[in-house]
Amino acid sequence: MSDSQSPLVEADRLATELAGPHPPTLLDVRWRLTGPSGRADHAAGHLPGAVFVDLDAELCGPPGPAGRHPLPEVAGLQAVLRAAGVRTGGQVVVYDGGDGLAAARAWWTLRWAGHLPVRVLHGGWAAWLAAGLPTSTEPATPAPGDIVVAPGALPVIDADGAARLAGEAAGVLLDVRAAPRYRGEHEPVDPVAGHVPGAVNLPATRLVDAAGRYPAAEVLRDRLAAAGVVDGRTVGAYCGSGVTAAQAVLALHLAGRHDAALYVGSWSNWVADPARPVATGETPAG
């Protein structure tokens, strides 16, 4: 799958592909920010043939100074994906409960790992159920995959890179958290409230709705342009821990910006160093 093809697949289209001679590998990544794991949800019902993969424990590294959802260790990620049946060059579809957050981070992780043919089920599990499509409680037993993880296929930035991007006239760093968190009025998770100086607030709710569905590409381009994402400007995104920001990177891909960088550690990494500056208020500079 090339970047010219959509990273989204609708439920009816996926059902047709699953009934065909070369069905995609299905990864169920249902997840909740505060837990518990989505494994019990998977056991209660899932797309036929889907394998559950734990976002926290298997697609991300352990939380710490690098952030709450840092990059995974390469060998471990490769083992997880092979156990799930991911084969080199084989189509993969990821889905979550419906808000699109975990699926977007899984999509981003596979793309970062060098696996291009991966798509997100648009609307997730909820869209599949709404379409009246079949479900299963049978555990999947996929043949082992042979994927070779080659990290770095999507751009990432660290704290220094985020600071540089936010300070460049030819760059824009998007903070996709809710406005009160950006302004420093409310911080439910991390120990410090505020934003990276120079970052522009574009809440993720402007890019995807609560059902995990994205607007048309031209609508996304208009909303991104209003935040300063225009041709000729480098763009990166961050959130609290790199999950919602991955959803923003997916939206940027839909809008044609395949060069968008993810600040994986995001705010949870930024505030791990008390020497890093923090801005508050409505404006980028605070």
* 2 has pLDDT over 80: no
Kindly report, residue by residue over 168-214, the tens digit of the pLDDT.
999 999 999 999 999 999 999 999 999 999 999 999 999 999 999 99
| CATH code for the structural domain at 8-130 | 3.40.250.10
* Residue-level pLDDT at 35: 86
Cβ atoms within 10 Å of 120's Cβ, excluding its own: 26
* 31 has pLDDT over 90: yes
Same fold? 8-130, 156-270:
yes
**What mean pLDDT is reported for the chain?**
96
Nearest to 199 by CA among 157, 231, 232: 157
Residue 10: both structure tokens together: 């609708």
What average pLDDT does this structure show over 65-90?
Answer: 98
Residue 199: both structure tokens together: 């970052």
Provide the percentage of residues in the chain whose pLDDT is more than 90. 96
* Residue-level pLDDT at 5: 77
Active centre residues (catalytic): 239
* Residue-level pLDDT at 53: 98
- SS3 assignment for the chain: CCCCCCCEECHHHHHHHHCCCCCCEEEECCCCCCCCCCHHHHHHCECCCCEECCHHHHHCCCCECCECCCCCCHHHHHHHHHHCCCCCCCCEEEECCCCCHHHHHHHHHHHHCCCCCEEEECCHHHHHHHCCCCCECCCCCCCCCCCCCCCCCCCEECHHHHHHHHHCCCEEEEECCCHHHHHCCCCCCCCCCCECCCCEECCHHHCCCCCCCCCCHHHHHHHHHHCCCCCCCEEEEECCCCCHHHHHHHHHHHCCCCCCEEECCHHHHHCCCCCCCCECCCCCCC
* 267 has pLDDT over 80: yes
* 278 has pLDDT over 80: yes
Superfamily (CATH) of domain 156-270:
Rhodanese-like domain (3.40.250.10)
Do 124 and 96 contact (CB within 8 A), yes or no?
A: yes
Spell out the domain ranges in the chain. 8-130, 156-270
pTM: 0.96
* 3 has pLDDT over 50: no
